[in-house]
């Protein structure tokens, strides 16, 4: 495979597409499929045949505003339809060439207006199971450029220059990580893609893997070339069957096209990728636990150092990056580090994909430049909280993150700003809460999650989260005391400072941030036995034997 051949494929795809007068793109992301978009697609194919129109019915990845799904976009007119079901197929097909179907049309200009799509540039535009679709949109060009024109150091330099930071949550500078693995001694190295997205309410990585799997594979191949690895693993949770199947198809097609395997594109670079399934443990998103799991051992973390960059999979230097991080690589290589560094804020470059959920009009997947105000994400893109309710808090970073109150909504989103507010970027979950949420109950929900997901290896996380859960339950059922509150705060400090891995170290964040911004709700529960949001039943368990 050469650049010319890639171009040839792209041309033939375009020629093929040109045979059609219209393209009807049907979102086949899990959210839309669960509402029947697969049946819709079949119905559209039949309707198009019956009408004798030249219509390309294409299945695509996530288009974004999931709460409006199933979504359909008709090109070249760029008309977006919402809540489409199989019964609408005839209407849509017959409208082609005429006026759009008014009652299905949705106007989300504001929703899309502030978004900048880098990671999601192809999602909604290509068939994720067709490698040629990806190639037609400049796919694998970056890999070929790297293999034929750049040195490994040159690649690392470009990534460093871009200012890209790990999108899995920690925000470690990607270029620095790559450089460390590249410099680590040893001939055998590994690259690993962390697709063990386990945060409640987060689905960025799933959508990328489902909607544009080749982008991840291309990013991994470039990384492997840069650090000197020849073997890669994608660690995906088994709860993502569609992602696994699309990745499997993508790997097969990439091998068939000679973009994976031995002597890729006639260069001495060899690289292949295996998929490993996670068995549903949140802690396996922590890199040392993930490594243990890939090796076939119990998924528990290990103290670092040594870092995986020096001693990872089977003791070899290992590069671990998140799905979204890899998804950023090809565009950075194609467009240059400076292009990427021009987007975003001072110390957080580029864009970030967020899974916007909760009490908000437009839930779904959004991609915004770093530095954008939280208010813009929630009010403009998300459409704000439903009428009759008021915004209370936004929870970022999943169970490891914190709840940010209304008065801080004008802060720009960046790794450092979120950390300063007592939350984290995390992988990009964003849960909006309104006045119907009790913040004590929210804290309890997240602590319960961490408690059940703690691996049990270190005492503070294993036992401390369980103790915090007991105390929060007491407060929620009206039996908590001010002593309990003090003990809760002590537990937060110890669990945060002494836990072995990130799970425990960040588990107290939802409690700490709600204590910081919504302390009055805790006090109301304790002193006045009242839940301001009316969520907690305040019913204590019967303590006396009847």
Partner 1 sequence: MSKLKVATAWLDGCSGCHMSFLDMDERLLELAELIEVVYSPLVDAKKFPDEVDIALVEGAVASVDDEKKIRKIRAHTRTLIAMGDCAITGNVPAMRNPIGPEAILERAYIENASAQPQIPCVVVPKLLRVVRPIHEFVKVDVFLPGCPPSAQTFHAALTALINGGPLDISALTRFGA
Partner 2 sequence: MSVEVDVKTLEIDGHEVSASAGQTILAVARENDIPIPTLCHIDGLSDVGACRLCLVEIAGSNKLMPACVATVQEGMVVSTNTERLQKHRRLILEMLFAERNHICSVCVSNGHCELQSLAQEQGVTHVRLPYRYPELPVDVSHERFTADHNRCILCTRCVRVCAEIEGAHVWDVMGRGIDSLVITDLHDEWGKSSCTRCGKCVQVCPTGALFDKSKIGSEHPKYPDFLPYLNLMREAQ
Task: Tell me which residues touch partner 2 (CB under 8 A).
Answer: 281, 283, 298, 302-303, 451-460, 462-467, 470-471, 487, 490-491, 494, 497-500
> What's the token pair of residue 212?
């544009």
If contact means CB under 5 to 8 A according to the sort of partner, which of partner 2, partner 1, none does residue 543 touch?
partner 1
528 secondary structure, DSSP code: S
Q: Which is nearer to partner 1, 102 or 545 (CB)?
A: 545
545 secondary structure, DSSP code: -
If contact means CB under 5 to 8 A according to the sort of partner, which of partner 1, partner 2, none does residue 545 touch?
partner 1
If contact means CB under 5 to 8 A according to the sort of partner, which of partner 1, partner 2, none does residue 494 touch?
partner 2
CB 546, min distance to partner 1, A = 8
CB 493, min distance to partner 2, A = 8
473 touches partner 1 by CB under 8 A: no
173 secondary structure, DSSP code: B
If contact means CB under 5 to 8 A according to the sort of partner, which of partner 1, partner 2, none does residue 281 touch?
partner 2
If contact means CB under 5 to 8 A according to the sort of partner, which of partner 1, partner 2, none does residue 268 touch?
none
The answer to whether the beta carbons of residues 199 and 426 sit under 8 Å apart is yes
If contact means CB under 5 to 8 A according to the sort of partner, which of partner 2, partner 1, none does residue 542 touch?
partner 1
If contact means CB under 5 to 8 A according to the sort of partner, which of partner 1, partner 2, none does residue 498 touch?
partner 2
Q: At what angle do helices 141-149 and 323-335 cross, to 10 degrees?
A: 60
Q: Which is nearer to partner 1, 139 or 480 (CB)?
A: 480
CB 418, min distance to partner 2, A = 19
472 touches partner 1 by CB under 8 A: no
Q: Quick one: which of 112, 96, 103, 102 has its CA closest to 63? A: 112
| 3-class secondary-structure state, position 97 | coil
542 touches partner 1 by CB under 8 A: yes
Q: Count the Cβ atoms, other than its own, within 10 Å of residue 451.
A: 21
| 3-class secondary-structure state, position 479 | coil
The answer to whether the beta carbons of residues 82 and 71 sit under 8 Å apart is yes
If contact means CB under 5 to 8 A according to the sort of partner, which of partner 2, partner 1, none does residue 94 touch?
none
Answer whether the bond into residue 306 is a cis peptide, omega within 30°: yes
The stretch among 150-158, 296-304, 333-341, 535-543 that binds partner 1 (CB under 8 A) is 535-543
What single string gives the DSSP state of each residue in 12-76?
HHHHHHHT-SEEEEEE-SHHHHTTTHHHHHHHHHHHHHHHT--EEEEEES--S-GGG-S-EEEET
Q: Which is nearer to partner 2, 312 or 412 (CB)?
A: 312
If contact means CB under 5 to 8 A according to the sort of partner, which of partner 2, partner 1, none does residue 298 touch?
partner 2
CB 536, min distance to partner 2, A = 19
Q: Which is nearer to partner 2, 77 or 490 (CB)?
A: 490
The answer to whether the beta carbons of residues 331 and 118 sit under 8 Å apart is yes
Q: Pattern 484-523, binding to partner 1, x per CB under 8 A?
A: ----------------------------------------
Measured between its terminal Cα atoms, the distance across the chain in Å is 79
If contact means CB under 5 to 8 A according to the sort of partner, which of partner 1, partner 2, none does residue 276 touch?
none
CB 372, min distance to partner 1, A = 49
Q: Which is nearer to partner 1, 436 or 481 (CB)?
A: 481
Q: Which is nearer to partner 2, 249 or 463 (CB)?
A: 463
Count the residues of the shown chain that bind partner 1, applying the rule CB under 8 A.
Answer: 6
Q: Quick one: which of 65, 119, 31 has its CA closest to 381? A: 65
> What's the token pair of residue 96?
């082609």
Phi, psi (degrees; rounded to nearest 5) at 437? -100, 135
Q: What does the alpha-carbon distance between residue 445 and residue 511 come to, in Å, rounded to a whole number?
A: 10
CB 181, min distance to partner 2, A = 21
544 touches partner 1 by CB under 8 A: yes
Q: Quick one: which of 116, 118, 88 has its CA closest to 103? A: 88
CB 299, min distance to partner 2, A = 9
What single string gives the DSSP state of each residue in 330-362?
HHHHHH-HHHHHTSB-SSSBSEEEEEEEESSSS
Phi, psi (degrees; rounded to nearest 5) at 513? -70, -35
Q: Which is nearer to partner 1, 18 or 546 (CB)?
A: 546
Q: What does the alpha-carbon distance between residue 356 and residue 396 come to, in Å, rounded to a whole number?
A: 10
CB 413, min distance to partner 2, A = 25
Q: Which is nearer to partner 1, 185 or 541 (CB)?
A: 541
CB 545, min distance to partner 1, A = 5
The stretch among 122-130, 172-180, 529-537, 538-546 that binds partner 1 (CB under 8 A) is 538-546
What single string gives the DSSP state of each residue in 397-466?
SGGGS-EEEGGGTTSBP-HHHHHHTT---TTSEEEEEETT--HHHHHHHHHHHHHHH--S-SHHHHHHHH
| 3-class secondary-structure state, position 248 | helix
CB 287, min distance to partner 2, A = 16
> What's the token pair of residue 441?
């109950």
If contact means CB under 5 to 8 A according to the sort of partner, which of partner 1, partner 2, none does residue 357 touch?
none
543 touches partner 1 by CB under 8 A: yes
State the residues that interact with partner 1 by CB under 8 A.
Answer: 541-546
């Amino acid at each position: 495979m050469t650049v010319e051949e890639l171009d040839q494929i792209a041309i033939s795809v375009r020629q093929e597409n040109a045979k059609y007068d219209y393209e009807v793109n049907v979102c086949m992301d899990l959210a839309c499929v669960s509402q029947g978009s697969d049946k819709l697609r079949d119905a559209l194919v039949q309707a198009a045949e019956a009408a004798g129109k030249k219509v390309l019915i294409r299945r695509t990845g996530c288009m974004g505003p999931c709460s409006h799904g199933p979504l359909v976009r008709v090109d070249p007119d760029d008309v977006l339809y919402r809540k489409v079901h199989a019964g609408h197929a005839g209407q849509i097909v017959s409208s082609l060439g005429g006026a759009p179907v008014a009652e299905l049309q949705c106007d989300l200009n504001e929703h899309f207006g502030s978004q900048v799509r880098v990671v999601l540039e192809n999602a909604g535009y290509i068939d994720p199971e067709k490698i040629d679709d990806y190639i037609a949109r400049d796919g694998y060009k970056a890999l070929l450029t790297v293999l034929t024109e750049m040195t490994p150091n040159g690649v690392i330099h470009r990534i460093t220059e871009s200012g890209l930071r790990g999108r899995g949550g920690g925000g470690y500078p990607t270029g620095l990580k790559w450089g460390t693995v590249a410099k680590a001694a040893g001939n055998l190295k590994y690259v690993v893609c962390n697709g063990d997205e386990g945060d409640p309410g987060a689905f960025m990585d799933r959508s990328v893997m489902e909607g544009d799997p080749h982008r991840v594979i291309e990013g991994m191949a470039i990384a492997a070339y840069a650090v000197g690895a020849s073997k890669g693993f994608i660690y995906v949770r088994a709860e993502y069957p569609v992602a696994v199947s699309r990745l499997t198809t993508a790997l097969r097609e990439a091998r068939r096209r000679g973009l994976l395997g031995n002597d890729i594109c006639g260069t001495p670079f060899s690289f292949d990728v295996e998929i490993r399934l996670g068995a549903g443990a949140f802690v396996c998103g922590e890199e040392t636990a993930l490594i243990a799991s890939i090796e076939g051992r119990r998924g528990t973390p290990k103290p670092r150092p040594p870092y995986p960059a020096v001693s990872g999979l089977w003791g070899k230097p290992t590069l671990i990056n998140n799905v979204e991080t890899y998804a950023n690589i090809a565009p950075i290589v194609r467009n240059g580090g400076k292009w990427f560094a021009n987007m975003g804020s001072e110390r957080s470059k580029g864009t970030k994909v967020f899974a916007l959920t909760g009490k908000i009009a437009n839930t779904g997947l959004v991609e915004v430049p770093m530095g954008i105000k939280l208010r813009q994400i929630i009010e403009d893109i998300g459409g704000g909280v439903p009428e009759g309710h008021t915004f209370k808090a936004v929870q970022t970073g999943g169970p490891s993150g914190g709840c940010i109150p209304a008065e801080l909504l004008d802060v720009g989103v960046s790794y450092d700003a979120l950390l300063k507010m007592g939350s984290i970027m995390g992988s990009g979950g964003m849960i909006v809460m309104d006045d119907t949420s009790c913040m004590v109950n929210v804290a309890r929900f997240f602590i319960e999650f961490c408690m059940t997901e703690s691996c049990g290896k270190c005492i503070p996380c294993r036992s401390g989260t369980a103790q915090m859960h007991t105390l929060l339950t007491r407060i929620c059922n009206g039996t908590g005391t001010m002593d309990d509150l003090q003990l809760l705060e002590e537990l937060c400090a110890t669990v945060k400072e002494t836990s072995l891995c990130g799970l425990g170290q960040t588990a107290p964040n939802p409690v700490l941030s709600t204590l910081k911004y919504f302390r009055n709700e805790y006090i109301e529960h304790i002193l006045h036995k009242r839940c301001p949001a009316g969520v907690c039943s305040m019913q204590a368990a019967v303590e006396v034997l009847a």
